[in-house]
Amino acid sequence: MSGREKGPLTEPMYYVLMAFLDREMCGTEIGAFVERKTAGRVRLGPGTLYTLLAKFQEEGLLEETGVEGRKRTYQITPKGRDAFAEELARLRACVADGEEETR
């Protein structure tokens, strides 16, 4: 089965999944990763971030791996990796189409 079946990822969704490609993370680490990776262009407020984490868990893209007090740690699942790879391929195709049209 492929990754996400509910259409393309939003930009925040894309970067949240990207954050997990190398390691497990907690919410504050994810927010810092996204802000650093995008040079501040994408900032995730707590409401957005934790809504996405819950949604991704529900869809089987992420799973919780630990809880220490209020700190929860998550990791990407194989389905989540597939969803990220599919979105990356879609974005590459969009860029290629745009570049072709502007030549």
Q: Express each pLDDT in 4-56 by its tens digit.
A: 567 799 999 999 999 999 999 999 999 999 999 999 999 999 999 999 999 99
Q: Which pLDDT value is given to residue 52?
A: 97
Structural domain including 82 reads: 11-91
Residue 77 predicted with pLDDT over 90: yes
Q: Provide Rg for the chain, Cα atoms.
A: 15
Kindly report the CATH number assigned to the domain that includes residue 65: 1.10.10.10
- Is 47 part of a structural domain of the chain? yes
- Is 99 part of a structural domain of the chain? no
- Is 103 part of a structural domain of the chain? no
| H-helix segments, 3-77 | 11-19, 27-37, 46-58
Mean pLDDT of 57-67: 97
Q: Which pLDDT value is given to residue 2?
A: 55
Confidence of residue 89 (pLDDT cuts 50, 70, 90): very high
The 62-68 sheet, strands edge to edge: 25-26, 71-76, 62-68
Number of domains in the chain: 1
